[in-house]
Structure 1
Amino acid sequence: MRNTNNLNKNNTYVTIWLYLSLFLVASLIFIGGLTRLTESGLSITNWELFSGILPPLTDKKWEEYFSLYKQIPQYKEINFGMSLVEFKYIFWWEYIHRLLARLASLVFILPFIYFLIKKIFNFKQIALYSIISLLFFFQGFLGWYMVKSGLISNTDVSHFRLSAHLLGAQIILSLLFFSILFRNIKKIHLNFYSYLILSFLIIVFFQIAIGAFVSGLDAAKIYQTWPLMNGHFVPEDVLIKEFSNSKSYSSPSHVQFLHRIIAYFIIFIFSFIFYFLLKNKIVNLKYLFLVLSAIIFQVLLGILVLTSGFKIYFASLHQVGSIFLLFSIIYLFYQASISQK
């Protein structure tokens, strides 16, 4: 009886731990998106892993941070003459983002170590949670690696590094959601449909990566029309053959065009997945409609980002929408994988 109570207690603790970690990482992605959209990511020019836990508490300390910011190209070329009050606004976004990153890492890693000592995980769970722990550490390095790209000669961070940083966070979030869904499932029935959904998930991850390119290059500030791009399906400054050249992925026009095309491709591919899963009665119709609703919501938000003249709240919702899209696809995969068909 005591062993059963301990087992239930541990199970409850692990459930709370995973859901809290999931919430914190999702919040981190949301705040990180706003940090980028408000162009606040370069306001703290040092890593300060431990010393940066506390914010500036004196006027002298604020002036020190502001003085460091004045030395980078973003201030000299874009924000020259910025007041201390204006600097504090962008500082707080980056500070909260970094503080939340530390909190999310500690909330996941410290309880994991405790659960390891208590020996309540099986080998597969230990392997999965160890990978997630390593990804948290890697994200910290990747975040600083991204910031460094905007401190010397550029006025902004590398969109490639920004994309890698966002993908890292989305992968952690997805693995956490996977672990929550499958934690108490003893046998998974992977089938053709499971792999089909996983392939679709990879396409969506690629779209998220391109979306980060759009954000990093401010590509949503051009061609703010839909369905055509200023009267053209393929704008005049986009050459399809140039996509074989890596330089095209640093072109705002090429990147926005690609982001649109992949969105249409996602709708097309999911239409087939919807049909096949429904025809063969693999999952309940409501789970298919959940993914479809998330896709439509994302497409509509993407259109609003453009046609509104790039309103930050639409852009932020668009990024949050990607989280719900990932969750809906992963849940569809879960339903297909526990199906006996």
Structure 2
Amino acid sequence: MCILWLGLLTACGPTPAPRLDPMLPPSASDLELLGATRLCDAEDTVVKSWQGLRYEQVPWGSGEQLQRSAQSGQPDHDRFYFFNDEQRLVGAVFRYNQGLSLKPYPVLRQTLSELRPSSTFYIDPTQLLSQEGARSAVLYRTGDYTSTTQYLVLETEGDPTLLVASLAIDPYEQLLSSYHETFLPELNRSRSATPGEPSPEADQSDDFLGLQQFARGEAALFGSCGTAQPAIAVEAYRRSIQHGLKDEARIAEAHHRLGLALRDQSQLADAQRELEQALSLRPNSPVIISNLGRVLAEQQQASRAIELFKRALVLAPNYPEARFHLAQSLEQIDTRRAIEEYETYVALVQGIPREAKRIRFVLERVKRLKGE
């Protein structure tokens, strides 16, 4: 059990429907959070669905936060919606001021019983030595391939009580977790917690703006809202680096991701420069080494690319991406070795659904290289 200030509420995704995918955790819920709204909806679309309801707009770094406090028609909880620079909904937090009994929600209770607790917190560590002792709450995490849903539950015997629920597309999960205790219902905040509404400015770390742009870049690069947007990713990663990041590993990753986004824009020389910068900060990262090799291969620098792929495999022998790209680079130089690398790649990724298309391509290439 962690003795931590509970404000660690993080991001999540839309209320998931029951799933049969064995790769995903249980996520079925009969507690509707977003209603007809969905993550990635445009801000205008979200606001139109709130006709007649009061809300407040406040800055959230370079984005915006909309707050709907408890009202007469909806007295049980406060709602906080977070929008990025493109005015897309990237996360939401729901704070239940009196706690929400989960007795009327058997599907959600069943889901929580099947999930392993992510963390356990003392709600008010100042009460640890008191006669009553400190109450604890459990954080459960679930979601799908692009988003995360979290439930913060007060585990009272026979009647679990929901304190906070949150959802976000994955790149923003860590970012939203920076609010700490400000999202706890007032009756559950520790005595040292600041009263009042959560303020996007109050709990921001020194590199909040850099982290926010990094999350924006991730969402754009990997298509968290359905379609990859490499041009937006390039802008976001550059702004992230300009704003500054405290963690050197994160700085390296920002240069790495910027290199990938530039490659997707066919700006290979710029991509190479960013990947080399990332590698100078993390010289033993097989992923960065392999991706630099890919960019060099696309610039017809096969010998340097092969050296990098081999170097990546020394560091991570079971890294399938490096095996695949090494095989491609060897086809015109060492056919036998290329076949071996292709076959090793297939052995490493067999049974992984997302690799199925590439496996078919590799098997066809092996046939041709063997002259079959």
Greater Cα radius of gyration, structure 1 or 2: 2
Query: Which structure has the higher relative contact order (CA within 8 Å, separation 6+)?
Result: 1
TM-score by length of 2: 0.23
The structure that is helix-richer by fraction is: 1
The structure that is strand-richer by fraction is: 2
